Structure 1
Amino acid sequence: MKKVLVTGRSGFIGSEIVKKLYDLHDWEITVLDIMSAQIHGLDWEKSYLYNEIKGKGKFIKGDICDLQTVMNALADNEYVLHLAAETGTGQSMYQINQYNEVNIMGMSNLLQAISLAGKAGSVKKIVLSSSRSVYGESRYSCPNYGNVYPDSRSVEKMKAGDFKMYCPNCGHLADLAYTTEDSAIKPSSLYAFTKYTQEMMLKTMCPALNIDYTIFRFQNVYGAGQSFKNPYTGILSIFSSLMLENEPINIFEDGLKSRDFINVKDIVEGVVACLDNDKSNGEVINLGSGTGTSVIEIAQLLKSIYKSDSPINITGDLRKGDIAHNIADISKAEKILGFKQTISIEEGLTAFCKWVVGQERDNSGYEKSLKEMEDAGMFIRK
């Protein structure tokens, strides 16, 4: 039996990975999670995600920021899947210390624990869940300059209703291009900065510690299990809660902002495929669908599936740190891992909505989260 430590395993993606590894019967699983109330609610032992993986491995309720806890969890595990992180892009822009503490110091603790184990340590490989957010506004094409990497959009332009992207060199309207792993890194949120810092820590320390690593840059992951307790992430969960009550759906900017949505089950296949794949060692790999879907398209699809009467409003409101578009080039994942999208957005959303109907929902935190961002100057109402 191979031994694996999964940090943040009771989160959305981590729980799916644990279920997959458990079903393979080849893995002895140790899990470390703080069971954040923001994700699981106050009574975490009754949460959907926890009960999905209960009994599927040794469970340690603890903080990734506590070195001794991490050392105890690490024990004699050969592989580490590091998913523990604070994940809200908007929230990161005002809860600065919290995001640095969990994302950067949490990674530091993990590497420190491996280092303290010394030559007696058994870790062979670390797999990191990073994020498409490290690319910032993504890669674009300009007829005059070719591939370009625009800076974050001007707040003043967005206030005036201009959400387009322009070439940073000549000011010409730029066209969205697929983002490859060698695209420029230009974080536009503190969350993105912390994820790229995690990447650089691995690239620096893993060779020194003589262990392998693979870094995945996830696109927008969705599917059954997304938290309804966390109002800072996941428009699918937010829209679903409102639509099932026939409440208005307020879409920021012009509604055309797009993302590369990928089902969590497809993500898990990619992650598990890298564990014993030497070709993935030392690689940074995009995992996504390679297709962009706008926020307004998502809202319309959900409304149709739920048969909801919710009015859909394009508000022009904006959040600082939000990017306009991002579509991943997934050719490296296809080549190295044999990765492919198997669940279409329509099929995936239909299954997601069917799951949602049976879940306990609470809309109260969403407006509170917007008020927090507004008070911090990070959310601007038109």
Structure 2
Amino acid sequence: MRVLITGGAGFIGSHTADGLLDRGHEVTVLDALVPPVHADRRFPEHLLERGVRWIDGDVRDRSAWERALDGVDAVYHLAAYQDYLPDFSTFFTTNTASTALLYEVLVARGQRLRRVVVASSQAVYGEGAQRCPECGEDEELRPGARTAEQLERGEWDLLCPHCGAALVPDWTEEEETRPHNAYAISKYAQEQIALALGARYDIPTVVLRYSIVQGSRQSFRNAYSGILRIFAQRILKGRPPVCYEDGRQLRDYVSVHDVVRANLLALDDERVVGQALNVGGGRRVSILEYARLVAECSGVEVAPETPGTYRAGDTRHVFSSIDRMAQLGWKPEVPLREIVREYLDWASAQAGFIDATTDADLRMKSLGTVRQSHPVRSS
């Protein structure tokens, strides 16, 4: 099969290309090699050596799609913009409009595909499913985003709207979408476009909602997002990792190798068509636990810091149920410790490995993305 991967020079894309090549597929990559991730604008040499065809183009450009789609049987649309910067329109032009453009070109050409796999995100859930321990475990609550005033006071927990008790997070199912920041909204809109147009024009489409994906090749040049690379940059340079809020936020993390297995399943299994499915790690881990694990695996004795800073629009707790993917025969296999060690081994071997976190943090503070809380002291 001839397969196109947008963003195929990047982290998840390059691993997916390897997985497809290992199965005997032909791979074309559409990638504009945008900085800072691709600071040197060099396409991965190992992919060229394996016969991958690279098209230097932007997913926001119709002519790039027209060139890239020639002769292909399936598409993985992985190209995306993800950061914590307030350039809101970039999220929608890169993530949402590009997806509409893909289907627009396919319909205009009358091109039939065996599959379109669209990469979405756990971010579409906003705050995950919650339950109140005081009002009763049977009622599931879906709170909205925390208010700016609450975060300014350093009050991190989501509170029950009925009794005010701190809510307890639960595994989040696919139906429970409630995006509340620009990135999340752009990805949810992308999903809706892909599934609706795919159904209308008989283009078999599946959406995969990745949890926080970790592993080798995740560029250390972008320090605005990606917890493992941010912590690794600081720890490998002997500096303590900084945890936002109180560090007790719960997340789930999944290996890029498990994601590739899910991507390959989505190409072949007809049961996934027309669905949005969670691809997660099946474990929930606090930010503080993760920071300590990275330090332990690196052999550097540093303790995480919690200075009371926070990112505007961030989520308190979210971890995704993977029951539906398990029913299809997929489950995560790579342990979290192995994920961390793989990344540390890869990052420490990279020429020019740097700690870009200080500059990134200063920029986010100047833009109002990262803020300092001011807890109210009781007299």
State, as a whole percentage, how many aligned pairs show the same letter: 28
| Residue 286 (structure 2) aligned to one of 280, 283, 294 | 294
Partner of 1:63: 58
Aligned-pair CA distance for 1:328: 1.1
Measured in 1, the distance between the counterparts of 2:183 and 2:342 equals 29
Aligned pair 1:40/2:38, yes or no? yes
> Residue type of the partner of 1:23?
D
TM-score, structure 2 as length reference: 0.93
Partner of 2:104: 112
Partner of 1:3: 2
Measured in 2, the distance between the counterparts of 1:322 and 1:218 equals 17
- Partner SS for 2:305: strand
> Residue type of the partner of 1:86?
Y
| Residue 123 (structure 1) aligned to one of 104, 109, 113 | 113
List gaps (5 residues or longer) in structure 2.
374-379
- Partner SS for 1:360: coil
| Residue 188 (structure 1) aligned to one of 180, 195, 208 | 180
List gaps (5 residues or longer) in structure 1.
none
Partner of 1:214: 206
| Residue 86 (structure 1) aligned to one of 73, 81, 85 | 81
Over the residues paired in the alignment, what is the CA RMSD in angstroms? Answer: 1.6
Q: Deviations over 1:290-326 (max 9, x none)?
A: 2111111111111111111334211110011111111
Partner of 2:348: 357
Partner of 1:323: 315
Aligned pair 1:54/2:45, yes or no? no
Measured in 2, the distance between the counterparts of 1:367 and 1:28 equals 41
Measured in 2, the distance between the counterparts of 1:364 and 1:345 equals 23
- Partner SS for 1:369: helix
Q: Deviations over 1:337-363 (max 9, x none)?
A: x11111111122122222222113554
Measured in 2, the distance between the counterparts of 1:353 and 1:100 equals 33
> Residue type of the partner of 1:320?
A
Aligned-pair CA distance for 1:53: 2.1
Q: Deviations over 1:62-91 (max 9, x none)?
A: 111110110110112111100011011x22
Partner of 1:254: 246
Q: Deviations over 1:130-174 (max 9, x none)?
A: 000000011111234711101111232233232112223443321
Aligned pair 1:373/2:364, yes or no? yes
Measured in 2, the distance between the counterparts of 1:364 and 1:332 equals 39
TM-score, structure 1 as length reference: 0.92
Measured in 2, the distance between the counterparts of 1:342 and 1:361 equals 31
Aligned pair 1:76/2:71, yes or no? yes
User: Quick one: structure 1 residues 203 and 170, their matched pair in 2 at CA, closer, same or farther if it must change by over 3 Å?
Assistant: farther
- Once the two structures are superposed, the pairs formed by residues 91-106 of structure 1 within 5 Å of their partners are 91=85, 94-106=86-98
Partner of 1:137: 127
- Partner SS for 1:255: coil
| Residue 274 (structure 1) aligned to one of 259, 266, 269 | 266
Measured in 1, the distance between the counterparts of 2:231 and 2:165 equals 35
Measured in 1, the distance between the counterparts of 2:342 and 2:9 equals 21
> Residue type of the partner of 1:20?
G
- Partner SS for 1:40: coil
Confirm or deny: 8 A CA contact 2:195 2:206 kept in the other structure: no
Measured in 1, the distance between the counterparts of 2:352 and 2:161 equals 43
Confirm or deny: 8 A CA contact 2:237 2:355 kept in the other structure: no
> Residue type of the partner of 1:76?
G
Measured in 2, the distance between the counterparts of 1:302 and 1:164 equals 25
- Partner SS for 1:168: coil
Partner of 1:347: 338
- Partner SS for 2:36: helix
- Once the two structures are superposed, the pairs formed by residues 17-36 of structure 1 within 5 Å of their partners are 17-25=16-24, 27-36=25-34
User: Quick one: structure 1 residues 193 and 105, their matched pair in 2 at CA, closer, same or farther if it must change by over 3 Å?
Assistant: same
- Partner SS for 1:302: helix
Aligned-pair CA distance for 1:29: 1.1
Measured in 1, the distance between the counterparts of 2:355 and 2:285 equals 27
Partner of 1:308: 300
> Residue type of the partner of 2:3?
V
In terms of mean alpha carbon deviation, does 105-114 or 154-163 score higher? 154-163
> Residue type of the partner of 2:117?
V
Bigger proportion of residues as helix: 1
Confirm or deny: 8 A CA contact 2:216 2:342 kept in the other structure: yes
Measured in 2, the distance between the counterparts of 1:340 and 1:274 equals 13
> Residue type of the partner of 2:337?
E
Q: Deviations over 1:162-205 (max 9, x none)?
A: 2112223443321111001111x211210000000000101221
